[in-house]
Amino acid sequence: MVTLDAPYIAGFLAFREVPSLVEAVKRLQEKDSSLMPQVLFVDGNGVLHHRGFGVACHLGILTGLPTIGVAKNLLQVDGLENNESHRGQAKELQMGGDFFYLKGTSGNVLGAALKSSQKSVKPVYISVGHKISLEAAVKLVHSCCKYRVPEPTRQADIRSREFCVKTTNEKQKPQD
DNA sequence: GCGACAG
DNA sequence: ATCTTGTCGC
């Protein structure tokens, strides 16, 4: 259980969430270091960011672990935007695993839009966080997708919500 | 003032 | 992120 104190501001997600994420990794290290993952999927961006340093990069630096940013929406940066052209490209993705690079106005490849599962229409936005190539990141994410959101992230989402409901009910349960 | 806005 | 309505497939 953690408490968030910073508000959500687009572009500053790391300042809100990274302390809790680092704490989670630290707790796992102490509880059973043999379970330490070789790579972390982060719900947010890596270098696909206004200042080239999203929450996935922060977490990678602070933990020393390889990280991959997997965002569910395109953060509009360096000329990239979810416009008609972009949606057209996304529409051309055929099979799960198909992707296209996200090249900004600067000429830099900041990430990739991946059709992560066969059924998904909307791509996920993959970007390098730390100590991994974009190509490896795209392959790894695709290999973990049964649905649109990679299973590790999806399970974390589902189970954390369950935990919140459970603890809320626990608090409000009348005492005998 | 207007548009954009990871989660 | 959260909420809500409706549709479709298993």
Question: Nucleotides of chain C within 7 Å of a protein C-beta?
Answer: 1
Residue A16 has pLDDT above 50, yes or no: yes
Which residue has the least CA–C1' distance to nucleotide B4?
A76
Give the Cβ contact number of residue A89 at 10 Å. 13
Q: Measuring CA to CA, which residue among A83, A18, A86, A14 is closest to residue A50?
A: A14
Q: From the Cβ of A68, is strand B under 7 Å away?
A: no
* All domains of chain A in start order, with CATH: 13-162 (3.30.2170.10)
How many angstroms separate the CA of A147 from the C1' of C6? 22
Question: Nucleotides of chain B within 7 Å of a protein C-beta?
Answer: 4-7
* CA–CA gap between residue A158 and residue A22 (Å, rounded): 20
Tens digit of each residue's pLDDT (9 = 90 or more) over A114-169? 999 988 899 999 999 999 999 999 999 999 999 999 999 999 998 998 888 777 76
